[in-house]
Amino acid sequence: MMKVTLTGETDTLKPLTSAASAVSAPRVHSPSRFSDYLELTKPRIAVMALFTVGAGYLLAAGGAAEWRVLLHTLLGAGLVAAGGSALNQLFERRIDARMRRTLKRPLPAGRISPEEAAAFGAGLAGAGLAYLAATVSLPATIAAAATFIAYAFVYTPMKTKTAWNTAVGAVPGALPPVIGWFAAQGGNGELAWEGALALFAILFLWQIPHFLAIAWMYRADYSAGGLKMLPGCDPSGKCTAFVMVLTAASLIPLGFLVPLAGLGSWFFTVGAIVFGAMFLRRAVEFARDRTDRKARRVLHSSLFYLPGVFAVLMIDVLLLK
């Protein structure tokens, strides 16, 4: 049944005007099969997510990290993340064909067929989950399966339904450090929830300004694709800016709460305040002047904040303890 649907949908793929011209124009640059498959995995997001998986593992393991387990965890989670992204692009291929930012992706451009993407995505995710189950632990496998299902099968279809999709998408986005955390606990059932919850909270809140900045910059694109994002129902940007400032600001008190959950000390608190203040400053600048340029600065600042704050936490827990 799935095959029939996929084949039918390929044939009826109708890009809008801008997409149509790009698809029918003579191809100046023809990516290789390898780079097309690589693009299906959203490698930059996957690398950053794997960074948080590794951080979760190292923070939970403390001084008792086993490099072999860490590598198994990164490989398994990487396969699952890559598979999830391929399925996300499979399910969104007709939407992606309507948006300037995404119309050249391998599926809307017709360089990879839906059947190939389905086999690739399901194969990678299945292999990743089996690998985690065989080499790491059941709790880590369950966390990875929950991440995959929430991303590909809950968040992705919600994008056309309600602007709340961002809060839902932030759940799989915040689960990768939990996968790493559980991997360090082994399969003995003694899972310490507080530390995992603290990492989840940092990532969950971080994603809201991270994505609202993107949603503002590409608001016309998202509307053209029929995706419901907050800026689409907030033409002035005041509501978007309010939520952005509120969530960026709430990362600062987390600097105090995370050590109370048993993770890190005053050193993390200072780091969270410094990085949080820089991030918040960009959000406030956007609130005062709601331009694409200021939104892009918020995005850049988010990509600086996350590695920064995780690095401080790891120095605190692993080197200064």
Ligand X SMILES: CC(C)=CCC/C(C)=C/CC/C(C)=C/COP(=O)(O)OP(=O)(O)O
Contacts for 304 with CB less than 8 Å, ≥ 6 apart: 275, 278, 279
Measured torsion, CA atoms of residues 190, 194, 198, 203, in degrees rounded to the nearest 10: 40
Establish if 176 lies at the interface with ligand X (CB under 6 A).
yes
Exposed / middle / buried, residue 254 (Cβ in 10 Å: 0-12, 13-18, 19+): buried
Residue 74 binding partner per list ligand X, ligand HEM, none, with a CB distance cut-off of 5 to 8 Å that depends on partner kind: none
The CB-of-274 to ligand X minimum distance in angstroms stands at: 25
Nearer to ligand X, 156 or 301 (CB): 156
Nearer to ligand X, 206 or 268 (CB): 206
Q: Are 107 and 117 in contact (CB under 8 A)?
A: yes
Nearer to ligand HEM, 131 or 218 (CB): 218
The CB-of-230 to ligand HEM minimum distance in angstroms stands at: 11
The Cβ of residue 71 has, within 10 Å, a number of other Cβ atoms equal to 12
Residue 303 binding partner per list ligand HEM, ligand X, none, with a CB distance cut-off of 5 to 8 Å that depends on partner kind: ligand HEM
Nearer to ligand X, 70 or 77 (CB): 77
In the complex, which residue's CB is closest to ligand HEM?
173
d(CA 278, CA 102): 30
Structure token digits, residue 145:
């399966």
Exposed / middle / buried, residue 317 (Cβ in 10 Å: 0-12, 13-18, 19+): buried
Task: State the binding string over 46-65 for ligand X (x if CB under 6 A, else -).
Answer: ---x---x------------
List residues near ligand X by CB under 6 A: 45, 49, 53, 77, 80-81, 84, 88, 144, 147-148, 151, 155, 169, 172-173, 176
